[in-house]
Structure 1
Amino acid sequence: MPHTFFAPDLAPDATGYTLPEDESKHAVRVLRLADGAPVVLINGRGDMFEAAVADANPKRCALHISAHTHIPPRPAPMHLAVAPTKNLDRMEWLVEKATEIGVDRITFLRCARSERRELKLERLEKIAVSALKQSGQAWLPRLSELMNLADFLPTVEPTTTFIAHLEDGERTPLSHVAAAPTGCTILIGPEGDFTPAEITAAFALGIRAVTLGDSRLRTETAALAAVHTVHVARELAGL
């Protein structure tokens, strides 16, 4: 298969593109792409381009674009809102795997029991780009800055937002409610779970409780399980 390169500034009507110096060096020196070698370009906004190397220069590798395809966004987008773990490696793993499976937006939440109070998105965004290229998808998920749960809750549509928590009480399996035709938002708490007050605040807005099964999952495992569950539910519903 042709190698894929990320070109975020590439317009749909472009006929050529020059890779940045680091990507040019990787393409020519590492991948050993020569003139005429086929490649794929994606801009993370649904556009995919068939191209070929026109000038295998390790500093300015020029590409000629021969075809363009636009893939529309998912009609039922998924928004994952998750409290990042203290160990950032586990969030990097989550972003990688969630991007591979397919998620439209990830918002990072600062909760009462959060162990991580600050978060820089630069490395996570690079991991998302790498996962996008590897998985062959066309839409790069939007990563939103860390924000307080209390500020986040009023911004979502409560009828299609669900909170996964471990407190006692009635909870619906996520698979039963995840296939909303307008998409959904899933809230995953920190390793110590949401506090009763945070859960009550969500309920007060009309957000419903869901369960991901009987096992007690780590934060990143629960988040990835939620992404997969939503995908399966949407496929079964034909969305």
Structure 2
Amino acid sequence: MHIFYTPDITQNTYTLNEEESKHCVRVLRLPIGSQVNLVDGKGGFYTAEIISDNPKKVNLSILQVQREFHKRNHYLHIAVAPTKNIDRIEWFLEKATELGIDEITPIITDRSERRIVKEDRLNKVITSAIKQSIKAYHPKLNEAISYDAFLKLPFEGDKLIAHCIDHEDKKYISELVAPHQKYLILIGPEGDFTSKEVNLALNKGYKPLTLGDNRLRTETAALSVCFEINYLNR
């Protein structure tokens, strides 16, 4: 199955951009008459036929469209401190997209190892992952934001903060939330959130979350949360 990401598709015909056209003709070597699939990132899954094989401008005719393709029964937003090694956050984005995630926000905390994030590069990782895993919804990647500013943003749903500081009320995800809801979960940097940051979140209505006794890397913690939420909503 050959899948192309086409976020601006609106008509019964579509022209791939030069990069995708070259990949279609030069790499995949697909001739006129071949059928391919398109995803628009908004739930549309299309079947199309190649009607011209110009390596700079491949034209497609839309044969069929499925709306809300594999629409999820919940909404997961993970706000995570970017890792110093960008490859690790790219790995998280790829795997989280494969598992299922709706929104990601890089948050800059007191102990953040990275304070600049190139969204264009990370979005390419997400786009590649939705094509590989046949997802019709493209997760939203927000611009990096300070921790304090992020906590001021509104969110209607379950809000959790995963941290390593001893806290009597910390519980597992399955003890804190129900299926088929909206979830927002905070994941801190390698050095964890500060006590001040944890208390600030708790005062904003976040519930303390434990991921177990193991000390996890940032990207591992974020991915484990993604897996647990998806398992809860299986």
TM-score normalised by structure 1 residue count: 0.93
Tell me whether 1:65 sits opposite 2:53 in the alignment. no
2:85 matched residue in structure 1: 87
Q: What RMSD, in angstroms, separates the aligned Cα atoms of the two structures?
A: 1.3
Q: What's the counterpart of residue 18 of structure 2?
A: 21
One-letter identity of the residue aligned with 1:193:
D
Q: Distance in 2 between matches of 1:234 and 1:156?
A: 24
Q: Residues 63-92 of structure 1, C-alpha deviation per residue, up to 9 Å, x if partnerless?
A: 111001101643420000000011101011
| Matching residue of 2:128 | 130
CA contact (8 A) 1:84 1:114 kept: yes
Cα deviation for residue 118 of structure 1 reads 1.2
Aligned length: 232
Which residue number in structure 1 is paired with residue 107 of structure 2?
109
After TM superposition, the structure 1 stretch with the greater mean CA deviation from structure 2, 101-110 or 207-216, is 207-216
Question: Counterpart of 1:152 in 2: which secondary structure?
Answer: helix
Secondary structure of the structure 2 residue equivalent to 1:107: strand
The equivalent residue for 1:38 is 35
**How much has 1:156 moved relative to structure 2?**
4.0
Paired position in structure 1 for 2:45: 48
Write out per-residue CA displacement over residues 38-97 of structure 1, whole angstroms, 9 at most, x where no aligned residue.
100111011111011111111111111100110164342000000001110101111111
Q: Is the 8 A contact 1:108 1:147 kept in 2?
A: yes
Q: 2 CA distance for matches of 1:152 and 1:93?
A: 23
Q: Which runs of 5+ in 2 are unaligned?
A: none
Q: Cα offset for 1:205?
A: 1.5
Q: Which moved more, 1:171-180 or 1:93-102?
A: 171-180
Q: Which amino acid aligns with 1:27?
A: C
Contact 1:85/1:116 (<8 A) preserved: yes
2:219 match: 220
How far off its partner does 1:34 sit? 0.3
Within 2, Cα distance between the matches of 1:158 and 1:213? 26
8 A Cα contact 2:179 2:232, kept in partner:
no
